[in-house]
Structure 1
Amino acid sequence: MSHGTVVDLFCGAGGLSEGFRQAGFRVLAGCDFDDTAGKTFAATHPEATFLGGRIQDVTVAQLLRVTGLKPGQLDVLVGGPPCQGYSVYNHQRGVDDPRAGLFREYLRLVKGLKPRWLVMENVAGLTSIADGGIIREIEEGMTSLGYKVDYKILKAEEYGVPQERRRIFFIANRVGAPIEFPVPTHGKNLKPFVTIWDAICDLAPVENGGKEEPQKYVAAPRNPYQAELRGNRTTAPNHSAPKLGSVNLERLKHIPSGGSWRDIPYDLLPEGMKRAKRSDHTKRYGRPRKTDLACTILTKCDIHWGAFIHPEQDRAITVREAARLQSFPDSFEFSGSRTEQYTQVGNAVPPLLGRAVANKLIDIDALKADKAVA
């Protein structure tokens, strides 16, 4: 049974739409400028049409044609306009950055498609840019098109994702339904957080710089998380480690579980880090404990920038391990070069977080239908 239809703007590899699909929605189309991510989306969403190219060139007529819908019939328009122009790391460019205007393209398509619900996600740092100016513009834009809107910062780990990740979600509708956000399922007095080791311990050991080929699992699924992400697969794709140079391998030998750059002997530190305060760069060259949550998965799982060293092996985490920490099923095979694969994983909304949001919309719609009947 389908709970409704979805179009995903700025879909990337399809993390948000995968969450909606897992909740029972039918994904009809996805749009993205990144053709390599589009290949991943197309391969993993065979029921949907992928539209490449600039969002500015995507028309309402085109989306109605490929979905077979009329204005007002689409149930949910989802998407995360790229945020580099207004991420927490880029205060200078703020509102004037052309990329910051991409949410206006989202609103342009809302105006023509008239979906029942809107779900837009972005970096949590959006709240601090231009004193909240972008937040206000998004709210005012949605309100002016007849939508009731609210937003909240959600923590991925509270919904079963084995990673500390904060994202802002705007939820809006034009059908008079209340706006509610999913209630956390994991954390204190709830289910325990899913740890790094819960997520990856069934994946085969791999060599630093080993060759790219699907790897057999080393054990039966050891917990429900692994069982769900594996499905009926017998091998894990995208599970090969990038090649680290000899000086980095030497550094890794000194970093214990829970350790970081501070454990590297001074003479082995990169030049730029020899002057660093010990209170700085806390995640650099981090080797997380098995019982930790992963740090935020970035578009580069570079050990120089974060805690991306494998808990046991002297290597960086693989694309598949990063995907597991983002809650992607192993059936997702990421296209392109390894660099492009890491980018697709790091840019994505964790599917389990998307699914929690999707399930909340289903609950609200069911409640609204019950009230209408009553």
Structure 2
Amino acid sequence: MIGIELFSGPGGMGLGARQAGVKVAIAVEKDPFAAQTYILNHREATVVVDDIVNIIEYDFERKNEQVILFGGPPCQGYSNSNRMTRSKENPGNWLFKEFIKSARIINPDWIVIENVPGLKNMDNGFFLEQICNDLHGAGYTPNFKILNSADFGVPQKRERIFIVASRHGVAFEFPKGMFKNHVSVADAISDLPVLNNGNKESKLPYKSKAKSDFAKLMRGQKRIVTQNYVSKNSELVIERYKHISQGGNWQEIPLELMKNYKDPTRCHHGIYRRLKQDEPAFVIANYRKSMLIHPTEDRGLSLREAARLQSFPDSYVFCGPLVHMQQQVGDAVPPLLAKAVFERIKRISA
């Protein structure tokens, strides 16, 4: 099966496809840093660094294999945390039309669209209905479901909606999660190095042997862990961290340490959250801006820790300035979640 990925970002979905046995031939991504990450980690794919609106044809060798077109059109407008942009008037919410345009050009056997779960209810389901109607109009049979990453071996409680459509009239049945015992934060990162606020260690030895099957999977044959990069927070922010227990958030911070906030009692519940080591992580997203805190150390997460919590293997290298690498990790589709969807498609197609 040949894969073509649109809005690829750093390649989390593409990695899941590759792990499932899909040969990714082309990826399209306009952000140069995310594209550089894709190029470095997916050497067999041709990466087109351009806005999808500029692409009018796709040149690849189809042979006798089925083709799967997949990707996640930008989803900020569909997110529950961005209510100001959740409307038909926001042009960024219509980029799925470019995806459908590419589908009509390529005529793939399968289409997979991934997005935030807020897409289901945005404008009373208007956008989800539009996408499904457009897929029907292009000759596809779509189905959709919200999947929780933690149910598929990802150490993170992250829900995503997947729309899977077949050109051959297949009513796709989504995979069921196989992990009733979820992978915890401790399972995921406890073997990674001890770090301090602001550390920028490109290479360090592991702290210990891998203590879980997940950690063994992420490490592979590596002996040195790379990209141990931690944002440098002010002394005031670090002092705030010290007051927050595992699972807690900004509400545990004394008010005298929050005086720079206009009204500290109205902070978003998602900021200054410390991970619980015996549970999957909260949604990683932009973990630097939300001040997501290491479960046992008074600092933010390192780039490698966040990548692990997204199920990127330690061999995966991110490119660009640190803030861009952090954004890439937070925006990515967890590879192990994507892998489960692609494996299901391949079984049906065999």
User: What is the CA distance between 1:85 and its match in structure 2?
Assistant: 2.8
2:187 is aligned with what amino acid? D
TM-score by length of 2: 0.95
Instruction: Quote how far apart the aligned CAs of 1:269 are.
Output: 1.9
Following superposition of structure 1 onto structure 2, how do residues 175-254 of structure 1 map, counting pairs within 5 Å? 175-187=168-180, 192-254=181-243
Preserved CA contact (<8 Å) 1:7 1:29 = yes
Residues of 2 paired with 1:300 and 1:194: CA distance?
A: 19
Which residue pairs with 1:357 in the alignment?
Answer: 341
Aligned residue number for residue 290 of structure 1: 277
Q: CA deviation at 1:92?
A: 4.2
Letter of the aligned partner of 1:104 in structure 2?
A: K
Q: How many residues align?
A: 349
Post-superposition offset of 1:293: 1.5
C-alpha distance after superposition, 1:161-190 (max 9, x if no partner): 111111110000112333111111122xxx
Where structure 1 has 5 or more consecutive residues not aligned to the other structure, the ranges are 367-374
Q: Residue 73 of structure 1 contacts residue 116 of structure 1 at CA under 8 Å; is this kept in 2? A: no
Task: Report the Cα distance in structure 1 between the residues aligned to 2:201 and 2:29, rounded to whole angstroms.
Answer: 26
Q: Deviations over 1:45-73 (max 9, x none)?
A: 0000000111101122xx2x2x2238x96
Q: CA deviation at 1:288?
A: 2.0
Q: Of 11, 18, 21, which aligns to 1:21?
A: 18
What's the offset of the Cα at 1:88?
Answer: 2.1
* Superposed displacement of residue 235, structure 1: 1.6
Residue 299 of structure 1 and its aligned partner are, at CA, apart by 2.5
- Cα distance, 1:74 vs structure 2: 5.0
| Residue 52 (structure 2) pairs with residue 59 (structure 1) | no
In 2: Cα distance, 1:218 partner to 1:291 partner: 19
Moved more, 357-366 or 196-205: 357-366
- Indicate the percent of aligned positions where both proteins have the same amino acid: 36
CA apart distance, 1:281: 3.5
Deviation at 1:322, TM superposition (A): 0.7
Task: Write the letter of the residue equivalent to 1:14.
Answer: G
Pick one of 299, 311, 336 that aligns with 2:286: 299
Instruction: Describe the superposition over 1:106-150 as per-residue Cα deviations: whole angstroms up to 9, x where unpaired.
Output: 000100101000000011101222211111110011001110111
Matched, 1:106 2:90: no
Q: What TM-score do the two structures reach when normalised by structure 1?
A: 0.89
**Kept after mapping to 1: 8 A contact 2:182/2:279:** no
8 Å CA contact 1:36, 1:335 repeated in 2: yes
1:203 and 1:217 in contact (8 A); partners too: yes
Counterpart in 1 of 2:120? 127
> Equivalences for 1:83-102 in 2 at 5 Å?
83-93=75-85, 94-102=87-95
CA distance in 2, matches of 1:10, 1:36: 13
Give the CA deviation at 1:96.
Answer: 2.3
**Change beyond 3 A, Cα 1:290–1:92:** closer
Q: CA offsets, 1:2-28, max 9 Å, x none?
A: xx1101100000001100100111111
Asked if 1 retains the 8 angstrom alpha-carbon contact of 2:200 and 2:227, the reply is no
Moved more, 203-212 or 139-148: 203-212
Q: Which residue of the other structure, out of 149, 155, 167, is the alignment partner of 2:142?
A: 149
Give CA deviations for 1:284-320 in whole Å, capped at 9, x if unaligned: 2222221122111113433xx35x1111111100111
CA RMSD of superposed structures (Å):
1.7
Structure 2: gaps of 5 or more residues: none
Q: Which residue identity does 2:198 align to in structure 1?
A: G
